[in-house]
Chains A and B, each alone.
Chain A
Amino acid sequence: MDALDVARWQFGVTTVYHFLFVPLTIGLSVLVAILQTMWHRTGNERYLKLTKFYGKLFLINFAMGVVTGIVQEFQFGMNWSDYSRFVGDIFGAPLAIEALVAFFLESTFIGLWIFGWDRLPKRLHLAAIWAAAIGTNLSAYFILAANSFMQNPVGFRINPESGRAELTDFVAVLTNKVALVTFPHTLAGSFLVAGSLMVTVGLWHVMRNRDSADTGAYRFATKLGSWVVLISSALVILTGDIQGKIMTEVQPMKMAAAEGLYTTESPASFSVLTVGSLDGSREIFALKIPYLLSFLGTGDPNGTVQGINDLQAQYASQYGPGNYAPIIPVTYWSFRFMIGFGLAAAAIALLVLWSQRKGRTPTSKWLLRAGLVMPVLPLLANSFGWIFTEMGRQPWIVFGEMLTRDGVSRSVSLTEVLTSFTAFTLIYAVLAVVEFKLLVRYARAGVPDVTPQTDDDDTDDAERPLAFAY
């Protein structure tokens, strides 16, 4: 074990952890904004209750996303300083713009929204949650544009004197085709999580809390969440399909690794299940659907999909001797888990909708259980999606331009990385438990009472309690 391994593990752990909170922030910010808009439009208290209820869950999660996000930005400099030196001219810009354009918007307006219930006119208060939601969603674009440069570097040249990558076309970086398709894919994946949480909480109250006066509100949330899950899963599939084709073109090794396809095939078949040798270098048993991989990768059932061994030979002659294949079992399984868990969430959403058709109240114990695990499924799908796309790029940190092992900080010792890895893992583990328990506590508590307090207009403004206080 050396500093490189630990730095990689740290990046993996902190990034996957960060992305447990991000999808909920992205999706729920918009869903809460929609609920508040409905209240604003109709004046129906049910939507106000739901806004406050899901808003609370949103904020418990939001705090975690914010604090774990700071680590992400600093980590590049701390553990990956040679990477930062190499790509800083290109990679730093989207990060800085993300902070200036998106994070300020998000953080300032979320503060206004949390504390502004009685301080702002209703319309402005509604605008605040929308501004925060837009900031959140916008931030995803910039960070994904930065990540897409690592997958498919564009708009740059290598300075022969310094050996560093230099920006030549910023528009090309922002309109990188990988970024353009990854953005909607990631957003749809995020709404999958947010919709699922909405269903879980709503369904639990519909089934467990039958006599509640707020059953109508919970039923509405359950349905809204289910539709969000179904629509976003359709979008995930659609964008994922385009992604597959782009990946086949710009990162053929990743596509081959996703499929465990060792030799180039035309037509190529899609592996439903492949059992490989332990080191992942050859297959032992495989169940395959003919033509499907060619179709997914190229749009043509007879198209050629390059295999790992051929690509390895090609890269070795292009970049010099070395192993240019990622760890195949990791890419192969993470790819399948991503798809599988995502589809499972969509299937449950369908069941939930069916169980409530024509005003019925679901009673099945199994449905309730399935509903309870529902948000975990798209969360896992998101995590595996990231593991797949980042591990599938290996051994490169910037595809074709810099190897991961050359990006690590030279001045940072193994002890230092181990210290930070241990510290982050510990604090993250503790906070995960705390956060989960709080979410459950507040989800169980149900929608709040929103009857306005006896508004004594004689009370001096300075004496009145705050509408919300920490």
Chain B
Amino acid sequence: MELTTVWFLLVAVLFTGYFILEGFDFGVGMLLPVLGRDDRQRRVLINTIGPVWDGNEVWLITAGGAMFAAFPEWYATLFSGFYLPLLLILLALIARGVAFEYRHKRPEASWKRRWDQAIFWGSAIPAVLWGVAFANIFRGVPLDADHEYVGGLLDLLNPYALLGGLTTLGLFLTHGAVFLALKTTGDIRERAGALAVKLGVGTAVAAVAFLSWSLTIRSSAAAVVLAVGAALALLGGLAAAKVRREGWAFTGTAVAIALAVATLFAALFPNVMPSTLDAAGTLTATNAASTPYTLKIMTWVAVIFTPIVLAYQGWTYWVFRRRIGVQNIPQH
């Protein structure tokens, strides 16, 4: 396999990992005001992701770094082109990350309320905007022959991309609810499970519409199979949630997210950022790539370190596998 293809796959895998992992902690953040009826309950919700959210976010930093190293043209065009949405995502991630750490540092209700809002908006904004951004990458954006983005903000807010945003929002909410049902006890667990099913039905509609629309833009046999798989996994996850098989429900939503992302990347290949203007503006895995030498070094680094990272990150989830409930929240 060409190294450019390997790195196309790796970037896809990193974003998939990011969306699966941070997907549920975005979901938890957005469900904070819905499922957390009092401060103790809200603390239960936050503590389900407390030990892991930071590690989850590093998937994004690694995906960004991998994109920069392997496809500098893609990184440069994407980040300068999608300027304002990315700015909003960054501001949201800043507020949210600090909120987790600072929320419990003072006892005042007003202090906590403010950080709760930071967690909610800091989760909701990226949950929508990542969908908008990836839908636009997939659909194609106006790039000139130098691969510079020549559109405006409004070009990014087209109906297809907004449906993409709605889809990621729904997927992350459902995924988060399922995660909470898996990780909590008592009343929160019950309500999270019930809510997951309700949210999941709406999400399934949005996701099927979005993936179908996507496949009319560009498609391949593999993409069709993956899209069908994503829909089935989501439905399977919901069925499992309905009968309270929470582990299977979580597996279902995780696989659904993975296959939905995979659908987009599979249909996109070998392009990484198609231009809607001049065909010469289209960025591909070849013309956006670094030199074979750089890709070779990066491949070695990835081959050695990715399994190690997966091992210790997986182990962390094992260490914190226990469900928690209001009875586990200390007084201070």
Contact = CB atoms under 8 A, between A and B. Distances in A.
Interface in B52-84: 52-55, 57-58, 60-62, 64-70, 72-73, 75-81, 83-84
Interface stretch (A97-105, A279-287, A348-356, A377-385): A97-105
Contacts of B75: 77, 84, 88, 92
Interface stretch (B95-103, B208-216, B227-235): B95-103
Contact of B98 (A63, A168, A419): A63
B80 A412 contact: yes
A462 interface: yes
Interface string B293-332: 1100110011001100100110010011011100111110
A66 interface: yes
Interface string A44-78: 00000000000000011011101111110110111
A138 to B, nearest CB: 12
Contact of A70 (B78, B90, B101, B313): B90
Interface in A415-432: 416, 419-420, 423-424, 427, 431
A114 to B, nearest CB: 7
A93 B294 contact: yes
A64 B102 CA distance: 10
B65 A470 contact: no
Contact of B309 (A71, A100, A167, A465): A100
Nearest to B329: A469
Contact of B93 (A70, A88, A116, A468): A70
B50 interface: yes
A144 to B, nearest CB: 16
- Among B52, B93, B149, B316, find the residue whose CB has the most chain A CB atoms closer than 10 A: B316
B158 interface: no
Contact of B47 (A170, A409, A469): A469
A108 B69 contact: no
B293 A168 contact: yes
Interface in A98-140: 98-101, 103-105, 107-112, 114-116, 119-120
- Among B72, B294, B329, find the residue whose CB has the most chain A CB atoms closer than 10 A: B72
A59 B37 CA distance: 28
Contacts of A77: 64, 68, 75-76, 78-80
Contacts of A469: 43, 47, 50, 104, 328-330
B34 interface: no
Contact of B84 (A98, A419, A424): A419
Contacts of A98: 65
A62 B322 CA distance: 26
A78 B80 contact: yes
Nearest to A409: B80
A412 B72 CA distance: 17
Nearest to B81: A411
Contacts of A81: 76-77, 79-80
Contacts of A93: 69, 294, 297-298
A470 B104 contact: yes
Contact of B65 (A78, A79, A95): A95
A107 B185 contact: no
A69 B65 CA distance: 13
A60 B102 contact: yes
Contact of B313 (A60, A97, A108): A108
A103 B103 CA distance: 23
B92 to A, nearest CB: 10
A425 B322 CA distance: 41
- Among A62, A68, A96, A105, find the residue whose CB has the most chain B CB atoms closer than 10 A: A96
A88 B320 contact: no
A468 B97 CA distance: 18
Contact of B73 (A85, A87, A423, A441): A85
Contacts of A161: none
B95 A79 contact: no
B83 A465 contact: no
B254 interface: no
A112 B316 contact: yes
Interface in B146-194: 148-150, 185
A88 B46 contact: no
Contacts of B294: 89-90, 92-93, 166-167, 170
Given A77-B79, A120-B319, A470 B50 contact: yes
B202 interface: no
B91 interface: yes
Nearest to B79: A77
Contacts of A90: 294
A458 interface: no
Contacts of A88: 68-69, 72-73, 75-76, 290
A91 B64 CA distance: 13
Q: 7 shortest A-B CB distances, which residue pairs?
A: A88-B72, A77-B79, A92-B69, A96-B65, A92-B68, A63-B101, A81-B80
12 contacts: A70-B93, A77-B79, A84-B72, A101-B305, A105-B312, A110-B54, A438-B105, A438-B106, A463-B328, A466-B324, A466-B328, A469-B47
Given A92-B67, A427-B94, 6 more contacts: A66-B57, A81-B77, A81-B80, A103-B61, A465-B327, A470-B104
Interface of A: 59-60, 62-64, 66-71, 73-74, 76-79, 81-82, 84-85, 87-93, 95-101, 103-105, 107-112, 114-116, 119-120, 166-168, 170, 409-412, 416, 419-420, 423-424, 427, 431, 434, 438, 441-442, 461-470
